[in-house]
Amino acid sequence: MSTIVLNSLNYVGQGIINGLSHFWERSAGIVNGFRHLQNSIGLSQDKTHVKWKLTIPYLVEEDSACACEGAKQYEDTLVDIVVRFDKKLPAAHRDATQTSIENLVVTTQFRDSVKLLLQAS
């Protein structure tokens, strides 16, 4: 499996399980902060589905009345090439997410999944 770099972070390929390619970025050091990228290609007689899903958690950086450091204060950001944000997320997190999407769509793996219907590996 390859490594995909999104927003200067290395998402390391972990293999294909049940038809899904899995890539993990673990620099946060705790499971709550691990980022996950998935890819699948669904082929049928009449339809083809190319799917990418990027899960980006947001961790609290300092203790506050709302949450402790390292806790998840907001829902994970999910990118299915449709992005779901918690309205209260800081602008810097939204900006980093947008940069990650830009980085993803220019990778060989993403391009090949759309253009050549090749599942990322």
Considering just the CA atoms, what is the radius of gyration of the chain in Å? 15
| Per-residue pLDDT at 27 | 94
Chain centroid to Cα 59, Å, comes to 15
16: β partners = 21
6, burial (CB in 10 Å: exposed 0-12, middle 13-18, buried 19+): buried
| Per-residue pLDDT at 60 | 74
| Per-residue pLDDT at 57 | 92
Residues of the chain with pLDDT under 70: 62-72, 82
Verdict on whether the full-model pTM lies above 0.85? no
Eight-class DSSP state of 8:
T
| Per-residue pLDDT at 89 | 79
The DSSP-derived string for 24-47 is: EE-TTSSGGG-EEEEEEEEE-SS-
Enter the tokens of residue 1: 């499996």
Q: What is the pLDDT of residues 44-78, one digit of tens each?
A: 787 788 899 999 998 877 666 565 656 667 788 88
Find, among 56, 50, 51, the residue nearest to 78 by Cα: 56
HSE (side-chain half, CA atoms, 13 Å) at 86: 15
Eight-class DSSP state of 72:
B
| Per-residue pLDDT at 68 | 60
